[in-house]
Chains A and B, each alone.
Chain A
Amino acid sequence: MLVQAKANAVAHRQPATEDKPRYLGFGLGLRSQHYADILDGDPDIDWFEVISENYMVPGGQPLRILDQIRARYPIVMHGVSLSIASTAPFDPDYLKQLKALADRTEPVFVSDHLCWTGVHGVNLHDLLPFPYTREALDHVVSRIQYVQDYLKRPVALENVSTYVQFRNSEMPEWEFIAEMAKRTGCWLVFDVNNVYVSAFNHDYDPHEFIAGIPADRVVQFHLAGHEHNMTHIIDTHDALVCDEVWTLYKAALDRFGPVSTIIERDDDIPPLAAMLDELGKARVLADEVFSGSKKP
């Protein structure tokens, strides 16, 4: 209760005004299957995004590897359990560990997802949807303000793939996100695959989503694969980026300009060389889009 009361108290503060995180180039989501190839070789990767929770452990190999990777590459911390939209109080131990990891790692920025993961002390370990209402917007804004205050840095939030829409939603997702970013000063991780998935599942044009997002808040792109079930798409992050998502990526580059990009693979992790092939494709597409003055 105390945590939430503080959250409400800071809800009307001015948005965070930190400088926009620098452009990082083309990176990968760090996965343990690739540790040896990364540390033993010198792969053509500009930066890594790490899953925060994988390193929120007491000690041992995970933190040792993270220190080694951090010594060579810029790092972004990407969490899955902040549960920013939950109506349950924040877990103070979780926030404490997250801050400790951020202070230790000094990431370029800290991100998580625009979702909730559970209530009543239960965690479903999933990125769950919620209705886009004014009530939810006020709630999420107050929670972001609290987290930014606690971490002493702006956070970035990612749009998640969703499979259901709520009857009482009052605005489209992009409008919710734009207002959320305006009121909190938070940054945005734009998952191109997730936009494609949600747009198909909810019968809207993904280009509407792209057009509705404030370009100056987007600090990162995610590219990933999915499973198409014809009636709906399931975001599996276990496959190659499909042609439609590459096309949408080009549209996002057109709209948002040069934005730090990663390929994100969560399952059926292929060898690093295959990941680098996909990353190379992202570089080529960006080169095509920015073959003029917009190249970073």
Chain B
Amino acid sequence: MSPPVAVSSGKAQSSAKAENAAPTLSEMQEAFQRAVISGDDAVLNEILDNSRTDRNVLFGVYRHAYAARLVEVIRNDHPFLSSYLGDDVFNEIARAYIEACPSRNQNARWFSHRLPDFIAETHPNEPHLAELATLERALNDAFDAPDAEPLALSDLAAVPPELWADLIFEPHSSAQRLVFTTNAHALWLSLKKEETPPQVETHPAPENIIVWRHETTPKLRRMSGEEAMMWNETVNGVPFGSLCELVAIYDDPDSAPLRAAQHLQGWIISGLLAKAQTEE
């Protein structure tokens, strides 16, 4: 946290400031911010009534706008969490988040970024809520992630067969793998279709979801355990030959090269990869 910087007015910097003297700009801004965030009324002493109403009403515009605006920012970032919870519960969570995590970024685009973690902490017995929020955050992040030219199948056509084992693939900058313990993905799908959400369920095994951007559109889909394992190792920079060996360990070794190639082809067609290169 950076302290406010004193301004340069000689009057403001007077060390022998008279009691009852007007606050400096810095002092006024601190008091104003406290009044908006935590309801401290001290700043009202420095504010005038107008001819029709008093300063409490006038200052109340800022207090109301602060929470209302940020609740809407969160709602815009998490439309399906909002519709799943309903306005009352969603607003309660959003206001608690605003109080616990004041915005520290100049751009409101990033304000809700800690919401999934906040919900995980505050609603530990409802993990589907944090996972639903996580899914929406991943889609938001994919939407404006850095641009990268996706790898095309034609890019690999010229690679000699003997180099394939050494190929290392780089994921697209928007790609993000999520691991869910609940059916948050199914909840999201039903909410998107404006259908009644299914009952919350906990998966016997974690569910892998991949989120990325194809051209300008965020996408998501499930990954099998094998595909998720291979993706994870790809992200770690493991070359294709070793990926095939890992797939062979995961399941039937005879068809492993074919399965690995199918996973790879699917990723390339979907725009999940950005680059392929051989180890130096």
Binding site for B on A (CB under 8 A): 1, 4, 8, 11, 53-54, 56-64, 81, 83, 85-89, 91, 93-94, 116-126, 128, 130-131, 133-136, 138-139, 142, 163-168, 201-203, 230-232, 234
Q: Which residues of A contact B87 (CB under 8 A)?
A: none
Q: Among the listed B30, B47, B61, B145, which residue makes an inter-chain contact with A120, where contact means beta carbons less than 8 Å apart? A: B30
Interface window among B52-60, B116-124, B200-208, B256-264: B52-60
Question: In chain A, what residue has the closest Cβ to B21?
Answer: A168
A273 to B47, CA, bound (A): 42
Binding site for A on B (CB under 8 A): 1-9, 11-12, 22-26, 28-30, 32-33, 36-37, 45-48, 50-53, 55, 57-59, 61-62, 65-66, 69-70, 73, 102-109, 111, 142-147, 173-174, 213, 216
Instruction: Evaluate contact between B52 and A232: CB separation under 8 angstroms.
Output: yes
Q: Which residues of A contact B30 (CB under 8 A)?
A: 119-120
A37–chain B nearest beta-carbon distance, Å: 17
A11 to B173, CA, bound (A): 42
B75–chain A nearest beta-carbon distance, Å: 13
Query: Which of A116, A124, A131, A165 has the most chain B CB within a 10 Å cutoff?
Result: A124
Instruction: Evaluate contact between A125 and B69: CB separation under 8 angstroms.
Output: yes
A264 to B46, CA, bound (A): 32
Instruction: Evaluate contact between A119 and B4: CB separation under 8 angstroms.
Output: yes
Q: Which residues of B contact A60 (CB under 8 A)?
A: 142-145, 147, 174, 213, 216
A192–chain B nearest beta-carbon distance, Å: 20
Q: Which residues of B contact A125 (CB under 8 A)?
A: 66, 69-70, 73, 103, 108, 111
B216–chain A nearest beta-carbon distance, Å: 4
A136–chain B nearest beta-carbon distance, Å: 5
Instruction: Evaluate contact between B8 and A142: CB separation under 8 angstroms.
Output: yes
Given contacts A53-B106, A120-B30, contact A166 B47 (CB under 8 A): yes
Instruction: Evaluate contact between B50 and A232: CB separation under 8 angstroms.
Output: yes
